[in-house]
């Protein structure tokens, strides 16, 4: 799971970026405004599991570094799932080299 509801269900905490929202719509829709994604998204869950595995294998990585690496691994595996405008510039060059 990539989120947790606050005990009184008035807020939602994103376990990917750590932000907390008290907006009723965000809670109801399981949405993170900072990540701009819904938590029911299977790609988002895969990123979270990859990040956790990376942190277990490389405890020297920060959350930001493990998030970026997990995102890069997912985008390399399936770039069609990337939100519009989020593919790093290097990924287009990397794919063109293949």
Q: Looking at per-residue confidence, does 77 or 55 come out higher?
A: 55
Q: Which pair of structure tokens corresponds to residue 36? A: 């701009």
The total number of structural domains that make up the chain:
1
Q: What is the pLDDT of residues 37-52, one digit of tens each?
A: 888 767 777 877 888 8
DSSP 8-class letter at 81: G
Q: Is residue 11 part of a domain?
A: yes
Q: What is the pLDDT of residues 60-90, one digit of tens each?
A: 988 888 888 887 887 776 666 555 555 555 4
C-alpha 89/C-alpha 68 separation (Å) is: 14
Q: Is residue 10 part of a domain?
A: yes
* SS3 assignment, position 84: coil
Q: Is residue 28 part of a domain?
A: yes
C-alpha 13/C-alpha 4 separation (Å) is: 5
Mean pLDDT of the chain: 79
Which residues form the domain of 23? 3-38
Q: Which pair of structure tokens corresponds to residue 91? A: 């990924």
Q: Is residue 68 part of a domain?
A: no
Q: Is residue 73 part of a domain?
A: no
Q: Is residue 15 part of a domain?
A: yes
Q: Is residue 89 part of a domain?
A: no
């Amino acid at each position: 799971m990539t989120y947790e509801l606050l005990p009184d269900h008035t807020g939602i905490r994103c376990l990917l970026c750590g932000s907390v929202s008290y907006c009723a719509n965000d809670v109801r829709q399981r949405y993170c405004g900072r990540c701009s994604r819904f938590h029911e998204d299977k790609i988002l869950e895969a990123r979270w599991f990859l990040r956790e595995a990376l942190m277990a294998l490389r405890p020297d990585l920060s959350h930001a570094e493990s998030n970026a690496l997990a995102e890069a691994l997912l985008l390399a595996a399936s770039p069609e799932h990337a939100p519009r405008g989020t593919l790093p510039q290097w990924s287009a060059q990397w794919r063109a080299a293949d």
